Structure 1
Amino acid sequence: MVRPAETRTRTQDALHDIVEALEKYHLATTFGWQDVAQRYRRSRVGAFWLTINMGVLIGALGLIFGNLFRSPMQDYLPFICSGVIIWGFISSCLNEGCTSFISSEGIILQVRMPLFTHLLRTMWRNMIIFGHNVVIFPILILILGLGFPPYAMLSILGFLLVSLNLLWMMLVLGIICARYRDITQVLQNFLQVLFYITPIMWQIKTLPQGASRYLFDLNPFYHLVTIVREPLLGEAPAPLSWGVVVAMMAFGWVFAIWFFGRYRRRIAYWL
């Protein structure tokens, strides 16, 4: 039985690890840049292959599904462009978060470093990739002749809240997957299903009139996507979406810190 004093000590150790990792953020940013640079080393275009690949994917999906749903391209292309880019960031962070500790096994076992640094490294790497991909959206807006969205700056706040939510999810998943490696495959299948039930490629207005809003209101990932995508499309996200995301962040971090404190010392042994 774990005593309250021991629980407090473990929680304090977890907080100290997180704070130390934030103070030594240069470790995570350096490793993150090296990860991206190494992937595209000796390539003429470099990391902008990410932008090219994403642009081709968005163009193909937009033409195919835009015609299938009979949606005007000026409405549908910005919708699917923003949705696919944001979802790609979310899914990549969660998938790679599962293996953050596993892929850093050599460093964890040989170098004294805050464990949370490895999660920041993964997050920063995916932020770099997101930065390359998000360039597509303003280019698309210019090509379509659309004006600058009035609420676009709100997407920065939304992206910050999404990143904070993803960090605690990555922390919990990284610990679980260090112990149970099969969870990585389970999560990949779960995210694949979630992609189709979240309005990424289909718009809510295309649903039948009798469809219930509970299909997406109870989907937390819908709200994560919405607070970033809606401002880019010129609309203010609903207060419900802001509330859900903030509540997820608050309760999620409380749980993640407790969970990290409880199992932090075992991670090295599981690797």
Structure 2
Amino acid sequence: MNRSLVQDYLDTLRHPAFWMYATWLDLVTKYRRSRLGMFWAFFPPILYTFGVGIFFAHLQGEEAGKFVAHLGIGYMIFRFVTVSLSEATTTYAGHANFILDGRTRLTDYILRVVAKALFYFVLAVPVMACALAISPGFQWIGLVTLLPALALVILNIAWMGAVVSVIGARLQDVYELIGSALMFSFLFTPILWTAASAPPDTLRGAIARANPLFHLVEIVRAPLLGEPIELLTYTYLAVFTVAGWLTAILIYRLYARFVPMWI
């Protein structure tokens, strides 16, 4: 039977008990034996934002306060997207027992992955708030666009997660391929460097702007730091989101029913 991606996502959101409880259980069991507990969830964003941020600010001659916020926000958006997509490639195989037992609403497992990545993102919000507090470029008006921008990021994660999870169920090598591609894309995402250092009319700027993570990071971060958002970013994300969802709906409709056989 052909399945509807949109309908399955709506059903998953209407019945969150399974994926929310499973996410909570994952997190509890991961940290309960650790003496420092949830501190380990705070440690990476603190280390990366202030440790790496200050180091690269001095390395590039940038103002530390501004660059720390630039790097920290960029890193957290990048991490949110990449962790979601990387884990989505193996989520069906990891839940094979549930799927073979008849729980075939596959979007439950995608949202379990996304919810876990979102949890770590939310935990990093206080760190980002501290970074923005010391940034001379912080703009309060950016908070108005923050939630819509994050919703757009999640909307794109949802369709990309659906695509890579279905393909990953059929081809185990997809996990390695996606991991390598995401690692490579880090170099072309303005995290350790700024978008202004790669103008759109240059070859390096054009290559960087072909990377969707470039635009997903900029749509969230630029308003917070008082930086302009390029018209290309709006156009790119509009086309990327619509075309991506149409592609994901088609792939899910054609191949989701084969997932129990593939895993």
Task: Calculate the TM-score normalised by the size of structure 1.
Answer: 0.88
Distance 1:210 1:234, change over 3 A: closer
What is aligned with 1:79?
70
| Aligned 1:88-99 pairs, distance under 5 A | 88-99=79-90
Distance 1:130 1:182, change over 3 A: same
What is aligned with 1:3?
none
Counterparts of 1:60 and 1:232, CA distance in 2 = 21
Q: What's the secondary structure of 1:205's corresponding residue?
A: helix
**AA partner of residue 261 (structure 2):** Y
What is aligned with 1:130?
121
What is aligned with 2:8?
17
What is aligned with 1:264?
256
Matched, 1:119 2:110: yes
Distance 1:160 1:28, change over 3 A: same
Counterparts of 1:185 and 1:192, CA distance in 2 = 11
What is aligned with 2:150?
159
Matched, 1:226 2:222: no
Counterparts of 1:98 and 1:209, CA distance in 2 = 32
Q: Which of 181, 192, 198 is the matching residue for 1:190?
A: 181
Counterparts of 2:38 and 2:224, CA distance in 1 = 24
What is aligned with 2:59?
68
Distance 1:236 1:206, change over 3 A: closer
Matched, 1:255 2:247: yes
The superposition leaves residues 221-256 of structure 1 with CA deviations (integer Å, 9 ceiling, x where unpaired) of 211111111122133533432232232222211111
Determine if contact 1:85/1:133 at 8 Å carries over to the other structure: yes
The superposition leaves residues 121-141 of structure 1 with CA deviations (integer Å, 9 ceiling, x where unpaired) of 111111111101122111223
Counting matched residue pairs gives: 262
Deviation at 1:179, TM superposition (A): 0.8
What's the Cα RMSD here?
Answer: 2.2
Matched, 1:177 2:168: yes
For the pair shown, the structure with the greater C-alpha radius of gyration is 1
Matched, 1:240 2:214: no
Distance 1:236 1:28, change over 3 A: farther
Counterparts of 2:135 and 2:37, CA distance in 1 = 27
Matched, 1:43 2:34: yes
The superposition leaves residues 191-218 of structure 1 with CA deviations (integer Å, 9 ceiling, x where unpaired) of 1111012211111333489834313332
Unaligned runs of 5+ in 1: 1-8
Determine if contact 1:14/1:260 at 8 Å carries over to the other structure: yes
Determine if contact 1:82/1:232 at 8 Å carries over to the other structure: no
Determine if contact 2:19/2:111 at 8 Å carries over to the other structure: yes
Task: Calculate the TM-score normalised by the size of structure 2.
Answer: 0.90
Distance 1:207 1:222, change over 3 A: closer
The superposition leaves residues 100-155 of structure 1 with CA deviations (integer Å, 9 ceiling, x where unpaired) of 11111111112434111100111111111110112211122335577553222212
Deviation at 1:33, TM superposition (A): 1.6
Counterparts of 1:261 and 1:80, CA distance in 2 = 39
Determine if contact 1:85/1:134 at 8 Å carries over to the other structure: no
Q: What's the secondary structure of 2:143's corresponding residue?
A: coil
Q: What's the secondary structure of 2:66's corresponding residue?
A: helix
Taking only the aligned residue pairs, the percentage that are identical comes to 26
